[in-house]
Homo-oligomer: A and B are copies of this chain.
Amino acid sequence: MSKLLSDLIEALRCLPGVGNKSAQRMAFHLLERERERGLKLASTLEQAMRRIGHCSRCRNFSEESVCALCANSSRDRQALCVVESPTDLAAIEQATGYRGQYFVLLGRLSPLDGLGPEELGLAQLSERLAEGEIEEMIIATNPTVEGEATAHYLAQLAHAAGVRPSRLAHGVPLGGELEYVDRSTLAHAFGSRHTLS
């Protein structure tokens, strides 16, 4: 096989979920039918890798120093949703009607991985809370051990700043069947039951 073709197949494997077989299929597909779009992908990818940084205000991906979402004056300035990653932010934007602000930790507290309050930008977050506009901090870290520890730490920051912290509800997923829900989720949902009026 041509050197350049096998280099391309190898390079495509940096994509998540792409093994040797699908990388080969992708390379052949582009060469046979999509050279123009392949070139377009190459240039867009190069620009994106070089120019996309982080918003100075919310730390989400952005090629501007302040992202479009932070710059959007029509969004609610009283609510701030804190997420671990840009992927989580995108999921909330796409699934919910939330129209407030965000703060992206780019990780979760994890001392063993060298991730402490400084790496997560928590000083910056505290400054943001001290501005006085925010009334509610919605803590949307993941329901993992580290995510819960991070949520606990964030709740303390909020309290210290006189901001009301809230947490996404956890429980049985909608459409989920009890027998297939994992035990800890079920135990949590049972313990968090609420009275129906």
**Interface of A with B (CB < 8 Å)?**
1-5, 7-8, 11-12, 14-17, 22, 24-32, 34-35, 37-52, 61-64, 67-68, 85-87, 90, 93, 106
Contact = CB atoms under 8 A, between A and B. Distances in A.
B7 A17 contact: no
A48 B63 CA distance: 28
24 contacts: A2-B67, A4-B44, A4-B47, A4-B51, A7-B48, A8-B48, A12-B41, A14-B37, A15-B15, A15-B30, A16-B25, A17-B25, A25-B87, A28-B61, A28-B87, A28-B90, A30-B45, A31-B52, A31-B86, A32-B85, A32-B86, A38-B49, A42-B42, A42-B49
Copies of this chain assembled into the complex: 2
B8 A31 contact: no
Contact of A39 (B2, B50, B63): B50
Given A31-B61, A39-B50, A46-B43, A16 B26 contact: yes
Contacts of A30: 14-15, 45, 48-49
Contacts of A25: 16-17, 87
A2 B61 contact: yes
Nearest to A93: B1
B45 A38 contact: yes
Given A11-B40, A64-B2, A90-B1, A48 B34 contact: no
A187 to B, nearest CB: 31
Contact of A27 (B1, B35, B48, B63): B48
Nearest to A44: B11
B26 A48 contact: no
Given A25-B16, A86-B32, A42 B45 contact: yes
